[in-house]
Structures are given as structure tokens and as C-alpha cells.
Amino acid sequence: MKKSLFFGTLTAAGMVAGFAAAGTLEDVVARGELNCGVNTGLVGFAAPDANGNWSGFDVAICKAVAAAVLGDPNKVKYVPTSGQTRFTALASSEIDVLARNSTWTFTRDVDLKLDFVGVNYYDGQGFMVPKALGVSSAKELDGATICIQTGTTTELNLADFFKANNMTYSPIAIDSNAEGEQQYLAGACDAYTTDASGLAATRAAFATPSDHIILPEIISKEPLGPLVRHGDNQWGDIVRWTLNALIAAEEYGITSANLEELSKGSSNPEIDRLLGTSGDLGPMFGLDNLWAKRAIAASGNYGEIFAATIGESTPIGLARGLNAQWTQGGLLYTPPFR
Amino acid sequence: MAEHHTAAFVRTEILPEQAPPVSEAGIIRWMRENLFSGPLNTVLTFVGLFIIYFVLKEYSPWLRHSVWNAGSVGECRDIVTAKYGEGATGACWAIIRDRWNMFMFGFYPRELYWRPTLALGLLIFAAAPVLFSESRLIRMWVLGVVSVFLMVAFPGLDVPNGDTALLAVVLVGMLALAWMRPWSLLWLTAVYPGLAVWMLWGGSAWGPTLAMAGFVIGWLAWLATRSFGTILSVGAAVLAPVLWWLFGMAPVQALLDASLPAAIEGVRSEKFGGFVLAVTIGVAGIVLSLPMGVVLALARRSDMFLIKGLAVGFIEFIRGVPLISLLFVASLLLNYFLPPGTNFDIILRVIIMVTMFAAAYIAEVVRGGLAALPRGQYEAADSLGLDYWKAQRLIILPQALKISIPGIVSTFIGLFKDTTLVVFVGLLDPLKGITDSVRASFEWKGAYWEPYIFVGCIFFIFNFSMSRYSMYLERRLQRDHE
């Protein structure tokens, strides 16, 4: 019985598969819920608490998009994805948006037919070594054994870096961050390499963080950002400008504290357009005029999200660095809202 | 020679019994025979002892310094340092204590924990008339333990006292039935699949009821068309339920939901996780794959070319690909074919794939059992004038299945352990999915072995029970006199 039902569905599905491409916004609204792909668990970026409520830096993007589109930041179905399944899950419509600390690269953007809509975290790959090793620069790691997560861009960067510097290394393949920490602490590898944000969180969780140092070299550019399927530009625009709205809100000084007040009208016309007090930006991509206000209300502006999830007051303690506003010497620069 | 009998030193009474030499008795004899019976064994014994000593030396301080009460890994470390001095290490079981609910229930709504718990308890009751049909003693023991477990668990899960009292009444009633008329519990067995689905996923009671009604419709169709011949009646028995499920069910359910609403709070599949998920998939896979495997095994031995070809193709294809690739097909590839917006439940998809996978293996195990039966048994069945199905049901399968028990149970144990592979399709299995998401909170980052050991222990309990049950079943079904 099950088989015939199964194949019957398959045949029926084949006939309508052609319509799958367009209309993510309609799908999401009809469903009343945003399917958001997140990490299965990465400290600070995406983690469920004991009650299954997700929170984190990437999760905040999901919440903002859901708030903008559906009016409720809680109308999100979080789909935990692994490093191997994340892009397939997006391409196959299992999820509407992927916010899973994924690096924006040429092949992922072009060859995998995905669209990165922006960058929410500028990361870079670094190395952590035990202090006892007596190494102070990544250039001194010739011949070292290095723990490296498979299926990630870090794996490729590592090969490039050692090749460029005429050095050799023996990789120890690991599957997850937890396994990497364990191998590193057990002495299976001399150095552990992953994104610098991950290294900071890992080091902070060690019993004696001061016994380990993060080497100064950052060997790669890892612009991490949310992405959507290729070919649905309206949906891509919504996610892109939701992210931009969060970044712009920080630039213009819109916080969750003064959001209500500013949305009554302000002296800055750009704020008025962003919060929908004037102009009609929202209807241009099929939302109402208060979309950005709701997105900001979900968990605050970019700076607030950063401070609450991975910033210096959290145990992870990441400095803003490259992720400061362009006015503060960082790389965050959103196009104008007009 | 006779004069020697009068010699003074001939003993006239029997010597008193003496204790055997030290080297031939008790623990020393056992050690001589088992540990030091030769140079090779002696060396191996010492190597073994050294390994045990080494493991204990390395890990027993870690276990002895276990911490059960702490809010984070850091606190655990502080407690261990405070108690046992600088540099001491200790297991941080507080992670299990803090996230116990997540390991057991995933993200299942807290106020509804009683539903999966009750479903598991009722599963044992539903299985009792089948699994423990012969020995009343064992049956009552097992069901008694389950009842006590439920009665202890229910108040702990914040169930109101009134409902717990109701449960007590129901349990006592079922225990009485199990004592006096165990076969009447088969009614529970029959409705259990629908009941379990309803308890786990909630929603309208009419959905599972009407889905189960499909089987009744199939049976009625078979009864109604029986006089027209076997092929026609089998066709009707298959076609009628399929038509019912595809077209008849939805409108009837809508009508019933509107007129007689009987819904409890629904729980969606992504809320499932931990052992609720593992047991759901494991039990469904086990229950569905056994009949499917038997049918496949019979089909593979069939003389009909088409049936045999289909069975061989199916079995060899499924056995030829890894389970993970089937799971990937279920979770990702299917979405390319299904119309957008289709809600084909991911757990259902996984159960279908796991069932097909296990069924292919069981088919081969059962085929082994069928092949092991002496040809005389088949001929005896024929000579009695039994038709194919009667011969299989009364003579062939009871013996073949008995031979296959160890293999079948091995497949089941493998299936249950394989449920952890669902982590690759984004479901939160207890071993890696839940563990990784627990470790993703900063408090528990850095706890590595404890969750694995805990989950391993729970799996061991399940699998060891299955293994012991299969040995019991083999003893019980022993029909030859040795």
C-alpha cells in the first residue's frame, strides 16, 4: 500500500515540479511560517535551550525575516542542517532561507545556484595552539598535525596557506567542533584551525584558556551570510533588505528602546522611510510599510544582536573588529534606503 | 597371591574423604584451567590484567570525581578542583541532569511528556499477548514493572492527580485482563498503531481512526468478493483500502471533525527528538519490517517469475545501497519531485525508508530459515493437501521463523541503532543531534564523553533486553528433545 501511495505521489509530483521555482514569499505567507535552516548547534550563532527555543546570532536573522514577512518573530520552523546537507536542503525547498554561518564563495554563489544576500559576520580562519608548543606565528607550523573540520572552506584554505608558504602539515579530519576540541585537548594535533569566532568560543570554554593562544595570522576571508535560492529575486530582496535594515538601524541609532518613539516620526528622512513613517518601500517587494520596524523589533538592531549573542559581554567575547559599522572603521555598509 | 591378603598392612576400611589438593579445587583450579593453562594463556592473562589496570587507573578517578549538581561545565570543574585539588579531573554528569528532558523527549512540549511515556507503556501492554503469551509469571512481572513505572512517572510529569488515578484504574483493569484472559488484550494490540500515532502526534482522533478503518474496509471487501475467486478478492482487498486512503478518508474526516470534534493538542514532527524519536522510528520500523520481510522472503522463493523478479530486485537494490543514501533520498531528493508546499512528514519518510531497509535484510534472514527446513516438511505439507498459504502458515513459516530468530533480532537491534543516523537528515537523534545542540550552549560546551556514555548506556539497555528476549524465545520454542 505504502509503495503505491508513494509512487503515485511521485508521479503526481513530477507534473507540478515545474512550478517550484517562483513564489517563495507566497509559499511562506500561505504556510504562515518561515522554514529557516540553521546550524545543528554552534555556540553563540545558533543553539536551542532546554525548552527548544533557538537563539543566537544567525537565529536572529531568521527571526527578523519572519517578523518582517509574517509579523511574528516566533513563526519560524528551525531546520537544523549539517555542513553537508545545508545547501541541498535550500536547493530542494526544504528551507526558505539558510542562516548557518556559511562562507560566501564564488562556486557556492554561481555553481550551486544559490544567492548570498549579504554578510552578517566577517570572519577569518585562524589557528589555536597550546602555549607549551612555543609557536608565535602560523608560519612556524611547518610539519605540524592540524585538526580540521571536513566539508568546509577552512579545509581548502589550510591547504592553500601551507602550499603558498612552502610548508607541510598532516591533517586530522574531524566531523564537528566538539570532536575537534576533544582531539586538540587530547594532544592528537598540534594546532586546531577553524573560523576565528569559533576558536574564541572554543578557547573560552576550556578549563584553562590561558594555556592556549590564538595565533595572530588570519589566513582567509570568511564572509558569512544568509542565503536563498537562485531565481526568486523578490524573496532574495526581502531577506537582503531585512539584513540591511538591521545594519542600517544601528547606523542611524535605532534601537529596540527608541524604536516606538522614532517610528512616530523623526528628523531624519531615511529613518522615516526605513520605519515606514513616510514613503512606501515595503509594498515595492510585497510587504507592508512596517516590515523593517517589525524586523528591528524582533531582537534589536545589528549591534544589539551582536552584543547579546557573541559580543564582549558574553562568554564568547568577540570584539566588533571588521564587523563594526563603516563609520567606526568596520566593513558594515548598507546601501541607502530610498 | 592369596597369602598377601593376610598381610598386616592391608587396609580393611575405606580411607576418609580428603579435600582435593589446593591446585585442583575452587578458584585456584578455575584460574589454572582458564587463565594459566599454558604459556600463551599466561602471557595473555597478564596483558589483559595490565590493560584493565591501565583503564581503571586512567578513568576511575574521572568516574569517582563525578559531579551531579552544577549549572555548567565550568562549575563542574570548579567543584572538582575544590574537592580533589588542582589538576583533578571529574565526569560532569550535571549535563545529563540539566538536559535530561532534551535527551529523552527532544523539544516535545513539556506539558505533554506524559503522552509519549504512556504510548511506550501501552506498547508493552499491546505487545504482551504476542510476546509473553505462554508464561503468566513473566507476563505479569513485565506488565507489573511497566505499570509501576507509569504510576511513578505520571506525577513526576506534572499530570493532575485525577488523571493519574484514572490511569491507575485502567492499568489495574488491563493487569486483570492480562492475568485472566490475556488474549483479550489483542484488541489493544489491534488498535495500538492508531492509538500510538494519535498519542504521539496528537491532532484529531479521526485521522488515525479512519486510517485504521482502511484495514477493516479491506477485510470487508475481501469478504464481499470472496466468492468471485482468489485473484479478484485479493485485488479488491488491496484496492478498496487504497481508494479509501486516497479519496474517501479526507471528506469523511472533515465531516466528522466538524460534527464530532475529538482533537487533542497536536505536536509537529520537528518537535520530536532524543529517545522519543529513536524509539518511535525503531518500533515502527521493527513492527512494519517483519511482515514485509516475510512476504519478500516468500516472494523471492516463489515460482512466479514476475513476483520473484520484483522481490529479488527490491532486496538486492536496498541491500546494495547504504542506509544514509536512502535517508538522503527521503529528506532531500524527494523535495525536488514533490509539489511545493506538500507536507510529507519527514519522520514518516524516514520510517518508510528504515522499514524498507530492514525488510530487505529480514527477507534474507527468513529466506535462510526457509532454506534450512528439510524438504520433507514441504512435501509433508503438500501430502496433507494444504494449499500454499495454509502450508506456509501452519507448517513452513512457524519452523522457518523459529530458525531465523537470532538473525531477525540481530537485524532489529541493528535497525534500532541505525535510528541515530537520522541526524544526517536534520532530525535530532539522541547520540549526535541532541548532544551537539546541548553542547552548543555555552554552559555545556566542552563536555565530551558524558553524553555519549549516557546515550550508549540507554541504547545498551534497549538492545540487551531485545537480545535476552530473543534467547528466551528460542528456549521457549525449543520443540526437539535433546
Residue B342: pLDDT band with limits 50, 70, 90: low
Q: What is the pLDDT of residues B66-114, one digit of tens each?
A: 999 998 999 999 999 999 988 888 999 999 999 999 999 998 988 899 9
Nearest residue of A to residue B81, measured between CA atoms: A207
What's the mean pLDDT when you consider all of chain B?
89
Strand partners, B263: B204
pLDDT of A13 > 50? The answer is no
Q: How confident is the model at residue B482 (pLDDT cuts 50, 70, 90)?
A: low
Interatomic CA distance for residues A288 and A68, integer angstroms: 9
What is the per-residue DSSP string for B10-42?
---SPPPP-PPPGGGSHHHHHHHHHTSSSHHHH
For the residues A109-136, what does the mean pLDDT come to? 93
Hey, what amino acid is at B415?
A: L
Q: Give ranges for CATH 1.10.3720.10 in chain B.
A: 269-482
How near does any CA of chain A get to the CA of B281, in Å?
16
* Cβ neighbours, 10 Å, residue B426: 24
Rounded distance between C-alpha atoms, residue A324 and residue B255, angstroms: 59
A234 Cβ partners below 8 Å, 6+ apart? A24, A25, A285, A286
Q: Is residue A12 over pLDDT 70?
A: no
CATH of domain A23-122+223-328: 3.40.190.10
> How many helices and strands in chain A, by DSSP H and E?
14, 13
CB-CB: which of A17, A27, A202 is closest to B341?
Answer: A27
**Minimal Cα–Cα distance from B335 to chain A, Å?**
5
Inter-chain contact B246–A5, Cβ cutoff 8 Å? yes
pLDDT tops 80 at residue B183: yes
Question: What is the Cα–Cα distance from A18 to A13, expressed in whole angstroms?
Answer: 9
* Residues B226-246 pLDDT 10s: 888 778 888 888 899 999 988
3-class state of residue A193 by DSSP: strand
Instruction: Spell out the domain ranges in chain A.
Output: 23-122+223-328, 125-220
pLDDT band of residue B334 (cuts 50, 70, 90) is confident
Per-residue pLDDT band at B6 (split at 50, 70, 90):
low
> How many C-beta atoms lie closer than 10 Å to residue A254's C-beta?
27
Provide the pLDDT confidence category of residue B451 given band limits of 50, 70 and 90: very high
Q: Which of B246, B352, B446 sits opposite A205 (nearest CB)?
A: B446
So what's the pLDDT on residue A247?
Answer: 96
Of residues A42, A89, A93, nearest to B440 (C-beta): A42
Please give the pLDDT value at position B32: 86
A256 CA to chain B: closest CA distance, Å?
A: 25
Which class does domain B269-482 fall in?
Answer: mainly alpha
Out of A284-293, A329-338, B7-16, B420-429, pick the least confident: B7-16
- Probe site for chain A from B242, B337, B353 (most A CB atoms < 10 A): B337
DSSP assigned state of A115: E
For residue B461, give the C-alpha cell: 539497555
Mean pLDDT of chain A: 89
Which chain B residues are within 8 Å of A5, Cβ to Cβ?
A: 242, 245-246
Chain B window 194-253: which residues touch A at a Cβ cutoff of 8 Å? Answer: 238, 241-242, 245-246
Q: Which residues of A touch B448 (CB under 8 A)?
A: 178, 181-182
Say what percent of chain A tops pLDDT 70. 93
B333 CB neighbours in chain A (<8 A) are: 92
B446-451 average pLDDT score: 90
The nearest CA of chain A is from the CA of B202 a distance in Å of 19
Rounded (5°) CA angle B147-B149-B155: 105
Q: In DSSP terms, which residues pair with A125 in a beta bridge?
A: A195
| A233-247, B214-228, B299-313, B454-468: least confidently modelled range | B214-228
Report the residue from B73, B337, B445 with minimal CB separation from A13: B337
Which whole number is the average pLDDT over B294-303?
Answer: 94
Of residues A43 and B408, which shows the higher confidence score?
Answer: B408
Helix (H, G, I), strand (E, B) or coil at B51: helix
Q: How confident is the model at residue B481 (pLDDT cuts 50, 70, 90)?
A: low
The β-bridge relationship of strands A144-149 and A212-214 is: unpaired
pLDDT of residue A205: 85
Question: Taking chain B, what is the end-to-end CA distance rounded to the nearest angstrom?
Answer: 49
Q: Are A50 and B73 an interchain contact pair (Cβ–Cβ within 8 Å)?
A: no
For residue B3, the model assigns a pLDDT of: 52
- Write down the pLDDT at residue A324: 95
Distance CA A32, CA A30 (A): 5
A109 in Cβ contact with A115 (< 8 Å): yes
Which residues numbered 289-318 in B keep a CB inside 8 Å of some CB on A?
Answer: none
The Cα A300–Cα A311 span in angstroms is 14
pLDDT in tens, A190-249: 999 998 988 988 888 888 888 999 998 899 999 999 999 999 999 999 999 999 999 999
pLDDT of residue A200: 87
Q: Is the pLDDT of residue A5 over 70?
A: no
| A149 backbone dihedrals φ, ψ, rounded to 5° | -80, 135
Of A30, A48, A77, the CB nearest to B437: A48
Tell me the per-residue pLDDT of A152-181, one tens digit each, with 9 for 90 and over. 788 889 999 999 999 999 999 988 788 888
B340 pLDDT band (50/70/90 cuts)? low
- Could you tell me the pLDDT band of residue B4, with boundaries at 50, 70 and 90? low
Q: Is the pLDDT of residue A275 over 90?
A: yes
Integer Rg of chain A from CA: 22
Of the residues A1, A101, A177, the best mutation for testing chain B's interface (the one with the most B CB atoms within 10 Å of its CB) is: A1
Task: Report which of B107, B161, B69, B29 is spatially closest to residue B437, judged by C-alpha positions.
Answer: B107
Interface contacts (A, B; CB < 8 Å): 136
Q: Tell me whether residues A8 and B246 touch, CB distance under 8 A.
A: yes
Confirm or reject contact between B58 and chain A (CB < 8 A).
no
Q: Please judge whether B341 and A50 are an interchain contact, meaning their C-beta atoms are less than 8 angstroms apart.
A: no
For the cut 70, the answer to whether the pLDDT of residue B273 exceeds it is: yes
Task: Encode pLDDT of A44-77 as tens digits.
Answer: 999 988 778 899 999 999 999 999 999 999 999 9
Residue of A nearest to B214 (CA): A1
Within 10 Å of residue A318's Cβ, how many Cβ atoms?
A: 21
In chain B, residues 122-161 whose CB comes closer than 8 Å to chain A: none
A289 and chain B in contact, CB less than 8 A: no
pLDDT of residue A20: 45
Query: What is A125-220's CATH topology?
Result: D-Maltodextrin-Binding Protein; domain 2 (3.40.190)
Residue A18 pLDDT > 50: no
CB contact under 8 A, B439 and A178: yes
- Kindly determine whether residue B270 and residue A77, on different chains, have CB atoms separated by under 8 Å: yes
Confidence band of B317 (pLDDT split at 50, 70, 90): very high
**Closest of B257, B253, B98, B267 to residue B198, by C-alpha:** B267
Percent of chain B with pLDDT over 90: 56
Contact check, Cβ <8 Å, B337/A80: no
* Beta carbons of B122 and B173 less than 8 angstroms apart: no
Is B446 in the A-facing interface, judged by CB distances under 8 Å? yes
